[in-house]
Amino acid sequence: MGYVLFAKAKSTDSVILLETKFTVHLRSYGRDILLKTGIGKLVRHLLSHENLTVQAAAKRVYDHWKKHIVKRATLQKQEVRFDLESRRLRDIAKRWFSEALSATMDDAIVLGLEQEIFVQCKRILTASYRRSCRQIAYKLRNDANLRSKLVSGNVTMEDFVKKYKSSL
């Protein structure tokens, strides 16, 4: 709908441009839609229009969309509660890490390690997630140097998981 209206915006008629601006301004498009349809390019082009009211209207649309996209990008993903089987598998992984690190299951490092593996496995409990958990727990259990680096914070959780996670 917005793209068709903006196609009319190529004319120099300021009335059509302003009507289109108000129609498009009502919606907050996602970044992918703005890129795919090219609406964003048209709005950017209208920022340098000779009519000052069209420029101001385009600036408001641009600022609104930018604010919306930045807000969506900075939101943290909420952790959702999973079914019993998923919770059981994640608890098993936490238990492995707590045994390998000689810590409790509620310790921040154990929770962070499991969470990072879960995120890097695209938040899906697949064979890759299980394999990565087993592999990292085994490496932590058998390598005191690696364990001390992780506990002391010399290596970030993200880098650690990227380096030692199963690549299959």
H or E stretch at 86 = helix 84-101
CA of residue 26 relative to chain centroid, distance: 25
The average confidence (pLDDT) of the chain is 82
Q: With CA atoms as reference, report the closest residue to 129 among 142, 110, 116.
A: 116
Please tell me the predicted confidence (pLDDT) of residue 7: 45
Determine phi and psi for 61, rounding to 5 degrees: -65, -45
CB-neighbour burial class of residue 160 (10 A; exposed 0-12, middle 13-18, buried 19+): buried
pLDDT in tens, 26-55: 677 777 777 787 777 877 887 888 878 878
* In the chain, domain spans: 2-74, 84-164
pLDDT band at 133 (very low <50, low <70, confident <90, very high): very high
The region of weakest confidence among 8-12, 39-43, 85-89, 105-109 is: 8-12
Better-predicted residue by pLDDT, 84 or 27 = 84
Task: Single out the residue of 88, 87, 168, 112 nearest to residue 135, CA to CA.
Answer: 168
> 93 pLDDT exceeds 90?
yes
Token pair listed for 12: 């120099």
Token pair 């002391």 is found at 152
* Confidence label for 78 from pLDDT (cuts 50, 70 and 90): low
Q: Assign residue 123 a region: left if phi > 0, alpha if psi is -120 to 50, beta otherwise?
A: left
Distance of CA 106 to the CA centre of its chain: 26
Could you give the C-alpha distances from 146 to 90, 132, 151, in angstroms and in order?
Answer: 22, 16, 9
Q: Within a 10 A sphere around the Cβ of 114, how many other Cβ atoms? A: 25
